[in-house]
């Protein structure tokens, strides 16, 4: 039996957000090459919000092919500082470089969510958050990364706000769920409007 709601993600964070909200859904990771999709968009000068939206849609389309008739949630997040778009650090050295480049500056997280049924895009949304990092010393960054370990490599900014990463910030303007990578309040509102969840 085909589930009525599917999350196009293997992210334990996104899955937990939906589970904690009481949603019943299936989950399947999209099989797309994100870097290959991103590269031409970035070369064309696409805004980070647009890149997040395109990736979210590509993920949802890929997974929708496996679940005919199901409502598929695709999501993606980009992180930008000025014109620079960040990617997950490849190693701990690059994680340190990421954090030092953010020191004393305000970067932006852009979280996109798309709903697709079969070939039809039913809804698109992007939420953004402004993240102000306090001034960091190289010595502090080294100690911080030693404490958090390889978890730093699992997020684009090399931090987890829900863990010790909160110590890197002096100010945050934005929705907590947007920061975690899935704008839950607009998503839940749309699912209620579509009659997918109890209104």
Angle at 100 between CA 40 and CA 44, to 5 degrees: 15
Given 62, 76, 142, 173, the catalytic residue: 76
Cα(162)–Cα(101) distance, integer angstroms: 21
- For 144-187, the DSSP string reads HHHHHGGGGGGSTTS--TTTGGGGGEEEEES-HHHHHT--HHHH
Determine whether 76 is an active site residue: yes
Distances (CA, A) of 157 to 5, 99, 174, 180, 193: 30, 7, 16, 12, 34
- Helices 138-148 and 92-102, axial angle in degrees (round to 10): 130
Classify the C-alpha dihedral 127-113-46-43 as positive or negative.
positive
Whether 56 contacts 113, CB under 8 Å = yes
Torsion of CA 6, 39, 110, 93, to 10 degrees: 110
- List active site positions: 76
């Amino acid at each position: 039996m085909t589930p009525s709601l599917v999350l196009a993600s293997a992210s334990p964070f996104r899955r937990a957000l939906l589970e904690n909200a009481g949603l019943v859904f299936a989950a399947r990771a999209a099989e797309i090459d994100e870097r290959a999709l991103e590269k031409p968009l970035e070369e064309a000068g696409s805004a980070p919000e647009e890149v997040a939206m395109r990736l979210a849609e590509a993920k949802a389309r890929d997974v929708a092919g496996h679940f005919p008739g199901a409502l598929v949630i695709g999501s993606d997040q980009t992180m930008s500082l000025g014109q620079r778009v960040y990617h997950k650090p490849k190693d701990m050295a690059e994680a340190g470089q990421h954090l030092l480049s953010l020191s004393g500056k305000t970067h932006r997280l852009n979280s996109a969510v798309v709903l697709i049924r079969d070939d039809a895009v039913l809804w698109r949304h992007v939420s953004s958050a402004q993240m102000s990092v306090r001034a960091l010393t190289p010595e502090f960054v080294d100690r911080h990364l030693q404490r958090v370990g390889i978890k730093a490599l699992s997020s684009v900014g090399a931090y987890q706000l829900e863990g010790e990463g909160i110590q890197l910030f002096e100010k945050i303007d934005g929705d907590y769920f947007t920061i975690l990578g899935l704008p839950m309040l607009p998503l839940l509102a749309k699912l209620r409007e579509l009659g997918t969840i109890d209104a």
